[in-house]
Each structure stands twice: as C-alpha cells, then as structure tokens.
Amino acid sequence: MKVVGINGSPRKDWNSGTALDFALKGAGDAGAETKRFDLFDLSYSGCISCFSCKLLGGKSFARCAVQDDLTNVLEEILSSDAVIISAPIYYSDVPGAVRNLYERLLFPPNLYSAEGKTGYDRRIKVGLIYTMGAPDPSFNNNCAENDKNAFELFIGDTEILNITDTYQFTDYSKYASSMFDPELKAARKRDVFPTECQKAYEMGQRLSK
C-alpha cells in the first residue's frame, strides 16, 4: 500500500502542510508507505494542449507527455494506491500550482470516449483536504465538490475534508487584519484546528485500508 501526499501550499508547515502530515501519519500508522511532495519546490507547467495523450498509437497515449518536475510526481501518483492532496483556497479555488497538477493528472485519462472509457486502468483512492480562511466552504462555492466529481470520473473514490476559518499569520497585531478578531482566531487554532487534524489523520487511515 503506497500513499502519496501532495502539499499545494507555498507554506510547508502551516495549515495545509500540517493537515497533510497528520493524514500521512494516519496512513503510515495503518501500515502504508508514504511520500510527500511540496509542489512549490518544483518547476512545471500546466497542460500545454499538445494532445499527445489522445494520439491513437502514440507513446504518451493516456499519459502526460510534458517532461518537467511534475513528471515524477505524476508517476508516483499513478503507481500509488491513494493520493492525498492538501491545499489552501485562493480566490475560491485551489492555487494555480495545484490546478496545473489537476490538468496534467485528469486530462490524459479523459479519452473523450462516447462509451465513457477512461485511460487509467486502475482506480486510486483520493483525499482532498482544502484549508480556507472563510468560515464555511459555501463562501468558496463548495469548490471541493467540483474537483471531487472530476477525480471520481478519472481517478477513484474521493473524500473531502474542508478545514475552515484557518489561522493566517503568527501575530495578528502585526498585519492588516481588522476584519478578524485575533482572540477568536487564536481560540479556533487552539480548539478546532487540532480536531480537523485528527479528521485528516483518520482520512489517512481510511484511505490506507
């Protein structure tokens, strides 16, 4: 059992990275081999619309032909049993770095098939952990639901963990942030975030079964 974790935040050990580590710990404790990738360490593009992944008889059929730092990450995901992607929400969506990954993971198996045939021959379980400043995912149009639909079509069964009202800076008094109550934010970080991390841990355990 191999579980690949993807951190889609430029911050390695803040909300998304911390929740991801809990999920990978849960997977590891359930007996899985785990690997973590930090997307912001890598240099890569999104889909370049070359259509090599749809060229009948082509050597990259149903695979992304672009060769860059994401190539190895895609290979690791496609040889895994489960992938857990943890990302912040930027403007009601995942950051561009994560969207670029989605394009290159989800488009190659989309064979534009009238019969609903897809290009990956095995299913991989998926966990999406989205962390956001808003108090409820509906403020961000429940964006994880759209991604879940795409992952379930082309990758595998997908579960979502939305982590809301996250702590954004180390010291609220030093940053422009008058719309937030620093005490409420600190209380949320102290009392609620650990319970969300526990849910991430349990997600990791579930996906490893």
Which residues lie near ligand FMN (CB under 6 A)?
9, 11, 14-17, 88-92, 131-134, 139-140, 166, 168
Query: Smaller CB distance to ligand FMN: residue 138 or 173?
Result: 138
Of 77, 155, 106, 167, residue with least CA distance to 131: 167
How far is it, in rounded angstroms, from Cα 80 to Cα 137? Answer: 29
- For 106, the token pair is 């989800």
Query: Smaller CB distance to ligand FMN: residue 39 or 77?
Result: 39
Least distance (Å) from ligand FMN to the CB of residue 18? 8
Least distance (Å) from ligand FMN to the CB of residue 198? 17
Question: In sequence order, which residues have a C-beta less than 8 Å from that of residue 182 and are 6 or more positions away?
Answer: 172, 173
How far is it, in rounded angstroms, from Cα 42 to Cα 101? Answer: 11
Strands 125-131 and 82-88: parallel
Query: Smaller CB distance to ligand FMN: residue 11 or 99?
Result: 11
Least distance (Å) from ligand FMN to the CB of residue 174? 16
Partner residues linked to 86 by β-bridges: 7, 129
Query: Smaller CB distance to ligand FMN: residue 89 or 126?
Result: 89
Least distance (Å) from ligand FMN to the CB of residue 40? 10
| DSSP designation for 41 | G
Query: Smaller CB distance to ligand FMN: residue 81 or 147?
Result: 147
Least distance (Å) from ligand FMN to the CB of residue 86? 8
How far is it, in rounded angstroms, from Cα 169 to Cα 201? Answer: 24
